[in-house]
């Protein structure tokens, strides 16, 4: 996705969210105390997406074979922290704005391929993103204290640069691919469903699960002219975040 296409997509989606919010606001008056803040913490479970693709090439004049590795292979399950606020247009409709922080520790990839007569191992740096999302949330009352909700969000995520070190012990070889992915501003969208338990007064406790897509990172071709320069071309990912948290109404 080019920068121009990405900008147009985000702009159109943001206008759509504002249009939906304006329509909902016109249908019914906003309740008293419309402002809310919320904080949630949970897990970021990878569903699909590869941190690197497969390829055959050369490193130091030795034939190298790289196998594809998913985010789940390298990072497993990581921290998902979300905090932000909401403005109630009606009792059933809110406009939301949230900051999302994701952090995943890298495990050693053993092995991630072969080079010559040696296994090839890889050590990635940790994966971290900080994103700003906006969206619309709708509620349905299940009881006097329990409310179900669904929400859709769009936003932009800032992903830290990612390095990888390739090691072939049998050949006493170490190959650094610094800035394997450069620091990236990526497009994100997602949807969540959850339950809100209102404990009385201004406070509530929620739990939610959803789907989130993040576009790929910007690749750096430190492996150019090796035949391996395509292994970082496709890095978008789907995740299944699960969160619990608290919210406060002003």
CATH value of 3-249 in 3.30.300.90, 2.40.160.20, 3.50.50.60, 3.90.550.10: 2.40.160.20
C-alpha to C-alpha distance for 146 and 30, rounded to whole angstroms: 20
Among the listed ranges 11-25, 165-179, 206-220, which one has the minimum average pLDDT value?
11-25
Give the mean pLDDT of the chain: 83
Residue 168 contacts residue 113 (beta carbons within 8 Å): no
**Whether the predicted pLDDT of 44 surpasses 50:** yes
Residue 147's nearest CA partner among 54, 230, 48, 247 is 247
| Predicted structure pTM score | 0.76
**Whether the predicted pLDDT of 136 surpasses 50:** yes
Asked if omega into 117 is within 30° of 0 (cis), the reply is no
Q: CB-hemisphere CA count at 13 Å for 177?
A: 27
**Whether the predicted pLDDT of 99 surpasses 70:** yes
- The dihedrals phi and psi of 117, each to the nearest 5 degrees, come to -100, 10
Which of the pair, 137 or 225, is modelled with greater confidence? 137
What letter does residue 25 receive in the DSSP assignment?
A: H
What residue spans define the domains of the chain? 3-249
- What's the confidence (pLDDT) of residue 78? 87
C-alpha to C-alpha distance for 11 and 5, rounded to whole angstroms: 10
Q: What is the rounded average pLDDT of the residues 137-142?
A: 96
Residue 69's nearest CA partner among 241, 235, 198, 247 is 235
Q: What are 174-195's pLDDT values in tens digits?
A: 877 666 888 888 999 999 999 9
């Amino acid at each position: 996705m080019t920068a121009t296409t990405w900008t147009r997509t985000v702009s159109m989606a943001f206008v759509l969210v504002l249009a939906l919010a304006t329509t909902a606001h016109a249908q019914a008056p906003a309740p008293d105390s419309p402002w809310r803040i919320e904080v949630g913490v949970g897990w970021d479970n990878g569903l699909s997406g590869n941190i690197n693709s497969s390829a055959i090439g050369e490193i130091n004049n030795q034939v190298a074979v790289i196998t594809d590795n998913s985010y789940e292979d390298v990072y497993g399950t990581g921290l998902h922290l979300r905090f932000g606020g909401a403005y109630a247009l009606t009792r059933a409709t809110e406009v939301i704005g949230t900051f999302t922080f994701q952090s995943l520790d890298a495990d050693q990839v053993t092995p991630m391929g072969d080079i010559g007569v040696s296994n090839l191992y890889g050590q990635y740096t940790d994966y971290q993103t900080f994103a700003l999302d906006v969206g619309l949330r709708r509620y349905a009352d299940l009881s006097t204290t329990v409310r179900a909700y669904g929400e859709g969000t769009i936003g932009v995520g800032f992903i830290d640069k990612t390095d990888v070190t390739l090691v072939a012990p049998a050949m006493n070889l170490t190959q650094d691919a610094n800035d394997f992915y450069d620091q990236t501003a990526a497009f994100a969208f997602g949807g969540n469903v959850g339950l809100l338990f209102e404990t009385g007064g201004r406070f509530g406790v929620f739990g939610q699960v959803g789907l989130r897509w993040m576009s790929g990172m910007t690749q750096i071709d430190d492996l150019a002219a090796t035949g391996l320069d395509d292994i970082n071309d496709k890095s978008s990912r789907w995740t299944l975040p699960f969160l619990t948290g608290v919210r406060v109404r002003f």
